[in-house]
Amino acid sequence: MPHRLSAQRGQGLLLILAFVAAFLLVVWAALSLASAAFLNLNGTRSDTQHTYALDAGLAYAVETNDSAAKGAGCGLTPPANFPLNYGSATITVIVTITPVTGCKPGKPSYNVTVSAGAGRQLNAQISSSNAGKKATWAIDWEAYQ
């Protein structure tokens, strides 16, 4: 009997190596999918943070004009920069507010440009129907880039 087994030496090892290779291939595929999911999550998180920063800049523009106008709309507002902290990330928001062409102090309207991060920008127009008195501002339109 020992003579019969000696001719088959190593065949079991080849079978085990084939199963280990197949198992490692499955593990590699699973880890690749998990890695792609984590990268996509980080991209989504960054997009969400920058979108919130753009919205915060627009809210800043509305509040600035709501506080400053007091019936004397269409004035120039200096550009503003402020940092927003989102966990470990800090995003610098740049807000530029300019009166629209033909702005009327009784019904002021402003074009607002908000930048946050590379290539992320929000353009909007805000207006007030009663000379910029408290809590009367509306967003006429906005566009994300």
- Would you list the domain boundaries of the chain? 2-144
- 109 has a pLDDT exceeding 60: yes
What percentage of the chain exceeds 70 in pLDDT? 84
Higher pLDDT, 27 or 12: 27
Query: Rounded mean pLDDT of 96-101?
Result: 91
Q: How do beta strands 137-144 and 77-86 pair?
A: unpaired
Q: Please state the pTM of the whole predicted model.
A: 0.68
Q: Specify whether the CB–CB gap between 93 and 82 falls below 8 A.
A: yes
pLDDT value of position 72: 64
Q: Specify whether the CB–CB gap between 128 and 65 falls below 8 A.
A: yes
Confidence of residue 11 (pLDDT cuts 50, 70, 90): confident
